Structure 1
């Protein structure tokens, strides 16, 4: 029968309705049967070829590099995300406001040093900086902390020492170059920054009491670890693929020229977006490049990469993100070349 809107309404006992409602064979059952017969055989054939392919010397080298990067970096990644989640959940933002000097020019280096003491991943540093600004911290100090916290915290420096055993100069160079970059960028914002570039998003405080804090810690840790772990695997795969597939002549072209070497690894750091707790192991695997180039990779990566540019644009606005990221790259490269040229 038809309803008031002209649509057909099935009634009880209607042969057409009962015929459509009865279960039966899928319409494309012959194709399903054919797929059930062919797909398993095809998978076995692919796995057979894959096993033979994986046993080649190139793939063995690829597998070794990839697993080494992941296995070495995973404990530091776990520790870093645990500490970052704990700070985000249990330490109110007003603590930072109380310890910072009132004069912005002095608050900038103090915020940079606070990044040495307090660990945090680069993904968490953007909302933390936004929260600090909303609670009265000068933007210059908040941006300094945003850059320094993921770059020179104890977990990152320890991971760097493990990735470069017997080379304490690399750890010191990373500390000084990253701290110098963060401080210079804070002072540059005091000098050249404009309020109209900044578009903070209003956020509510996540620091609650009792089980709400525990839930915030659990959710934050889970999000940061899964996201950073994914970037770690991507970075490890990219580093292993880079080491195995790129011809030696291409590497010699870049690694043989200092500025090309630095520029190539800076671009690689921006594109790979490896977590700061793991980037030292990726840098250590790029043994064909100079120490200064690998230092630039570790200084730029935690401060500017594709995911950070997207996070900053969504939080503070595109006008800020593009200007701030471009200036940070220039300052980080100059700082790496200057500090690395002296220490390395």
Structure 2
């Protein structure tokens, strides 16, 4: 097996205790609620528990499917496939790489190392970055979850697809025009499959890593959404929800902070019923492209100079594309 056919090694794996800390933080409030006895019967606590469980249970099957598909691609699909199907001209390779995300599912946790591997094997960085942004945002699992979270609203699914693709392509072209080599840390070349690890072992390790890592963020995100819905006064929400621009910026910022897996963010967005559709669209477009865990992953893979500039520019472009697509379709 040649180096070009080797699966992407898992890089920047979080410490083993990190997912356990997240899950522990998610379980602790429930334990406290039942330990306090009668406080569990308070209507606000019951509402919090209902919203939290509903979001988690709805999103969990898509998280399992998404991480399984991501692990399978990482373990069994040679990266040379991407390089062969991309046009030689970088300006044309960018939209092709962006559209490739529609048919190649994967979560944002896996998209960063995949993009790094593509660059190390000769794919133009602009195309790799377009794929990095589009794959976790427009893949079939995410779009199906969006359709279920917003039943009877195909316009929301179409708006998410178009806004995400537009953001990915525009960012790829912006890198071609304004990107600098000194902003991008050289990506280490992988020399082959790791000794002693079969492809099935790579799949198992990848699935375990992505599920525990993303699952912890899913539960914490569900808790945050439930807390947000129960504790934030209506007057505060009215301040943002009644203003189209403030609501879009508020939910875009919330998506960055919550860092929810892209397979689950549609259910969280659907639960934010007090906000207009365009703002909830911005939440779903910005989240898979710019959040705290992605910024950390990008900084570790490509360098801090790249992560700061690329994340800031992506957030601006994503908000603009969401506003445009939502204004036309929603």
Q: TM-score, normalised by structure 1?
A: 0.85
2:173 pairs with 1:187: yes
Aligned length: 299
Asked if structure 2 preserves the Cα contact closer than 8 Å seen for 1:92 and 1:207, the reply is: no
Looking at structure 2, the residues matched to 311 and 211 of structure 1 have their Cα atoms a distance apart, in angstroms, of 24
| Residue of structure 2 equivalent to 1:301 | 287
Judge which range, 208-217 or 49-58, deviates more: 208-217
CA gap 1:240/1:247 in 2 versus in 1, 3 angstroms: same
Looking at structure 1, the residues matched to 145 and 296 of structure 2 have their Cα atoms a distance apart, in angstroms, of 26
2:69 pairs with 1:80: no
Asked if structure 1 preserves the Cα contact closer than 8 Å seen for 2:33 and 2:39, the reply is: no
| Bigger relative CO (Cα 8 Å, ≥ 6 apart) | 2
Looking at structure 1, the residues matched to 219 and 297 of structure 2 have their Cα atoms a distance apart, in angstroms, of 20
Q: CA RMSD in A?
A: 1.5
The list of structure 1 runs, each at least 4 consecutive aligned residues, that deviate by more than 4 angstroms after superposition, is 46-49, 205-211
Asked if structure 1 preserves the Cα contact closer than 8 Å seen for 2:33 and 2:40, the reply is: no
Instruction: Using the TM superposition, give the Cα deviation of residue 206 of structure 1 relative to its aligned residue in structure 2, in angstroms.
Output: 5.7
2:309 pairs with 1:323: yes
Asked if structure 1 preserves the Cα contact closer than 8 Å seen for 2:295 and 2:307, the reply is: yes
Q: Identify unmatched segments of 5+ residues in structure 1.
A: 1-45
CA gap 1:69/1:310 in 2 versus in 1, 3 angstroms: same
Looking at structure 1, the residues matched to 162 and 289 of structure 2 have their Cα atoms a distance apart, in angstroms, of 14
- Match for residue 273 of structure 2 among 270, 274, 287: 287
Looking at structure 1, the residues matched to 34 and 310 of structure 2 have their Cα atoms a distance apart, in angstroms, of 51
| Residue of structure 1 equivalent to 2:230 | 244
| Residue of structure 2 equivalent to 1:170 | 156
| Residue of structure 2 equivalent to 1:339 | 325
Asked if structure 2 preserves the Cα contact closer than 8 Å seen for 1:93 and 1:132, the reply is: yes
Deviations, residues 168-196 of structure 1 (Å, cap 9, x unaligned) = 00000000000000000000000000111
Q: Identify unmatched segments of 5+ residues in structure 2.
A: 1-31
Q: TM-score, normalised by structure 2?
A: 0.88
| Residue of structure 2 equivalent to 1:313 | 299
- Match for residue 106 of structure 2 among 104, 120, 125: 120
Looking at structure 2, the residues matched to 302 and 151 of structure 1 have their Cα atoms a distance apart, in angstroms, of 6
Taking the TM superposition and a 5 Å limit, the aligned residue runs for 1:95-244 are: 95-204=81-190, 207=193, 212-244=198-230
Looking at structure 2, the residues matched to 149 and 286 of structure 1 have their Cα atoms a distance apart, in angstroms, of 25
Who wins on radius of gyration, i.e. which is larger?
A: 1
Instruction: Using the TM superposition, give the Cα deviation of residue 201 of structure 1 relative to its aligned residue in structure 2, in angstroms.
Output: 3.0
Instruction: Using the TM superposition, give the Cα deviation of residue 49 of structure 1 relative to its aligned residue in structure 2, in angstroms.
Output: 6.4
Judge which range, 192-201 or 128-137, deviates more: 192-201
2:75 pairs with 1:89: yes
Asked if structure 1 preserves the Cα contact closer than 8 Å seen for 2:34 and 2:40, the reply is: no
